[in-house]
Every structure is written in C-alpha cells, then in structure tokens.
Amino acid sequence: MDYPIVRMRRLRVSEHLRLMLRETKLNASDLVMPLFISEKITEKRPIESMPGCFQIPIREVAEEAAKIARAGILSVILFGIPAKKNEKASEAYNPDGVIQKAIREIKGRQPQLVVMTDVCLCEYMSHGHCGVVRGEGGQAVIDNDATLELVARTAVSHASAGADIVAPSGMMDGSVAAIRGALDKENFAMTAIMSYSAKYASCFYGPFRDAGESPPAFGDRRTYQMDVPNWREAMREIELDIREGADIVMVKPALAYLDVICRAKQRFDVPIAAYNVSGEYGMIKAAAKMGWLEERTAAMEVLTSIKRAGADLIISYFAAEVAPHLVPAA
C-alpha cells in the first residue's frame, strides 16, 4: 500500500510518539569518559585544542572521577603523562607510575566505577612511537615483537593496581595474546581486554597528541596503524584479536568509520566499542564557537549515529557533558 493510505508522518506528529518509536536510544551507560592524568602538574591544565578538556593532576583524579560518576557514567579510560620518558618506556610499567597511582586513587573513592586503561607506550617513549625503535634516521623501524613484552608488563601493572579493563592501542601484532597470557599467568584471569583492533592512521588524532604530549619525534605511525581506505583488513584485525582473547574490540576513529563499525557489528558476536576521537570532538566545538551549529544537539546526533551504526560502547570527550541529558544507567 502506498500514499495516501500509508502516511509515514502519522508516527511523527508528537514528541511522545517519536520517543515511543525511536529505534536507537542512547543511554548514559553507553558512554566512557577519557581522562588525561599528568605527573607534571599540580593543578588542572586546560587542553587548548580540546575546549572543555583538561590534564588532571593525580591528587585531583578521584574527585574528577566522582563528578563523572554523578553524571551517570559507569566507566572512564585513563591516559598517562609521565614526568620522565625514555626509549624503554619504563614508566609505563612502573608499579608507582602515573596510571597505576591514578587507578588506586579512583578505586579508593569510586570502587564501582569501571576503570579502563590505555595500554600504549607512546606517551612514555622519548621518541613518541608506540613501540621499541630499532635503527636510526631513515632506517628506523618499530620492533613489533620486542614491544610485546613491554606492553604485557604494562597491562599486568595496571591490573595489579586495580584496572578492570586494559586496552592495548598500539596496533602491534600479537599484543592481545601477549597480554592475555601475561594476565592469566599473574592470576588476573578476570581482567578484561578491550583491543583497539581497527585503529586507523587518521588525521583526526591531532588534538589528542597535544593532550597526551605524545607526537612522534620522527616519521609517522602508518607502518602499524591501519590504512584509511581499508575495511576488509579491519575485519581481519578484529577476528585475529578475538581469537587471541579480546573481550571487546574497538574501531577508531568513529565518525568517519561508521561503515566499519556496522560491518563489525554484523559479523562479530562480541561487544563493539568506538572512539569518538579528539578531532571529531574539536570540529563540533569549533563550529559551535562560531555559531554555525548548536553544540549539544550536534554532539547527541553524532553519538547517536555511532550507536546506530552498531557500537555498544562509545568513548567520547562529550560523555560527561551529555550524560545528564540521557537516560541514566540502571
């Protein structure tokens, strides 16, 4: 049957009807709030390229987590900025490192909050790459297998401090298997792994590198992060990580890769996370500042589109801002 018997607008005539029939519903429990924790500061420091976001000193992280929990968010993901860096990333797996201290602070005040930790070495390496570098100048390469031991040690140190979920983000082949083996060996069998399985070499990470103070000192990350045009490769990466023991898999960035999120959701029967990254956040903030769009409406539309594509969890810098306007967590 067609018009005029069928009138699609009948079910849009009131706000209550639209709410009743809404196919995709964004909840506060869908969101994860990123936090940047710095050993180098004693007061919160604004991140210039990410309006509304801050680097947070360790002494304030528990209170920041409490605010996030009061907004209805169930989880945070932590990124560390150490006072010292070297070519072995030793502060990444230091039992008294910045993230390890932050985890203990949060869990001491907010034990119910799910604490995820970014398990990457770039913030801790003096050269800013995500792995061990061999060679110099134009001959420098990332040593994948040498990096695995350091990533596994970092994950175990986070679990020992109380992390609920560890999240390898360096795109090193075999990292999930190395972490799962190390966690199980050290009696952390119940610590979950959320792998950055399909992490693209995207231009949308720019502001994050200011926030995390982690730009590479030379070259780029295209030999280990994924090539932007590829989606079949993403399916292989995700499948491999699931076989290695990933409990949750991620697509990053989110907004420019909704098709990859959708394909992953259709193909794999595991929770799918998506990272609404700093550049995606910054575009909305900048356009809103210019008066070109309404910020909260735009943020909600973007986050809803990510969930509609198939994401079960959305990591977003908008999380704390929008959560009070969403259905609260149960």
Cα–Cα distance measured from residue 120 to residue 70, given in angstroms and rounded to the nearest whole number: 29
For the annotated catalytic residues, the residue numbers are 199, 252
Query: 145 lies in a domain?
Result: yes
- Whether 7 maps to a domain, the answer reads no
* Helix H or strand E segment including 173: none
Burial of 30 (0-12, 13-18, 19+ CB in 10 A): buried
pLDDT for 212 equals 66
Q: Is 5 a domain residue?
A: no
Separation of alpha carbons 296 and 301, rounded Å: 8
DSSP letters for 120-135: -STTTBTT--SSEEES
Give the domain extent around 64. Answer: 26-325
Phi, psi angle pair for 163, to nearest 5°: -65, 140
- Tokens representing residue 156 in the block: 């175990």
In three-state secondary structure terms, 150 is helix
State the pairing for strand pair 165-168/114-119.
Answer: parallel
Closest CA relative to residue 252, chosen from 158, 118, 71:
118
Residue 10 lies in a domain: no
- Identify whether the C-beta of residue 213 lies closer than 8 Å to the C-beta of residue 50: no
Q: Is residue 199 part of a domain?
A: yes
Question: Residue 85: how many CB atoms within 10 A of its CB?
Answer: 21
Q: What are φ and ψ of residue 111, in 5° steps?
A: -60, -25
- Within a domain: residue 15? no
Tell me the CA end-to-end span of the chain in Å, nearest whole number.
41
pLDDT tens string, the chain, 330 residues long: the values are 899 999 999 999 999 999 999 999 999 999 999 999 999 999 999 998 899 999 999 999 999 999 999 999 999 999 999 999 998 999 999 999 999 999 999 999 999 999 999 999 989 998 878 888 887 766 788 899 999 999 999 999 999 999 999 999 999 999 999 999 999 999 999 999 999 999 999 999 888 777 766 777 776 778 889 999 999 999 999 999 999 999 999 999 999 999 999 999 999 999 999 999 999 999 999 999 999 999 999 999 999 999 999 999 999 999 999 999 986 655
Residue type for 270, please?
V
In a domain, 4, yes or no: no
C-alpha separations of 12 from 18, 19, 22, 41, 216 in Å: 5, 9, 10, 51, 50
Whether 193 is covered by a domain: the verdict is: yes
What pLDDT shows up at residue 143? 92
> What's residue 206's pLDDT?
80
Angle formed by the axes of helices 175-185 and 144-161, to 10°? Answer: 40
Residue 52 corresponds to which tokens in the numbers above?
Answer: 């509304």
Three-state DSSP state, 291: coil
Tokens standing for 292?
A: 């070109």
CATH number of the CATH domain containing 265: 3.20.20.70
The structural domain count of the chain equals: 1
Which amino acid belongs to residue 256? A
Listed in order, strand segments (DSSP E) in the chain are 31-38, 45-46, 54-57, 75-81, 114-119, 132-134, 141-143, 165-168, 192-199, 248-252, 272-276, 313-316
Q: What is the pLDDT of residue 221?
A: 77
3-state SS class at 4: coil
3-class secondary-structure state, position 188: coil
